[in-house]
Amino acid sequence: MKKIILTGDRPTGKLHLGHYIGSLKNRINLQETGDFEQYIMIADVQALTDNAKNPELIKNSVFEVAMDYLSVGIDPKKSVIFIQSQIPELTELTTYFMNLVTLSRLERNPTVKQEIKQKHFEKSLPVGFLNYPISQAADILGFKADYVPAGEDQLPMIEQTREIVSSFNAIYGKTFDNPEPIIPEGKFARRLPGIDGNAKMGKSLNNAIYLSDDEKTLHSKVMSMYTDPTHIKISDPGHVEGNMVFLYLDVFGEDKEKISELKKQYKKGGLGDVVVKNYLFEVLNCLLKPIREKRKYYENRPELVKKIVFEGNSKAREVVQQTLADVRKKIGIDYFN
Ligand code: TRP
pLDDT of res. 191: 86
Report the nearest-CA residue for atom 5 of ligand 1: 9
The length of the chain is: 337
pTM of the model: 0.95
C-alpha 317 to ligand 1 mean position (Å) = 17
Q: Which of 125, 101, 39 is nearest to 309 (CA)?
A: 39
Which among 136, 141, 160, 203 is the best mutation to test ligand 1's pocket, defined by most ligand atoms within 8 Å of the CB? 136
pLDDT of res. 153: 87
Ligand 1 atom closest to the CA of 154, numbered from 1 = 1
Distances in Å between the Cα of 29 and the Cα atoms of 35, 75, 212, 256 are 11, 11, 21, 22
C-alpha 9 to ligand 1 mean position (Å) = 5
Ligand 1 atom closest to the CA of 135, numbered from 1 = 9
Which among 4, 5, 10, 132 is the best mutation to test ligand 1's pocket, defined by most ligand atoms within 8 Å of the CB? 10
For 154-170, how does the pLDDT look when each residue is reduced to its tens digit (9 = 90+)? Answer: 999 999 999 999 999 99
Q: How far apart are the first and last CA of the chain?
A: 28
C-alpha 20 to ligand 1 mean position (Å) = 15
Q: Is 9 in the pocket of ligand 1 (CB under 6 A)?
A: yes
Q: Is 133 in the pocket of ligand 1 (CB under 6 A)?
A: no
pLDDT of res. 185: 83
pLDDT of res. 38: 98
Q: Is 139 in the pocket of ligand 1 (CB under 6 A)?
A: yes
The low-confidence residues of the chain, meaning pLDDT below 50, are none
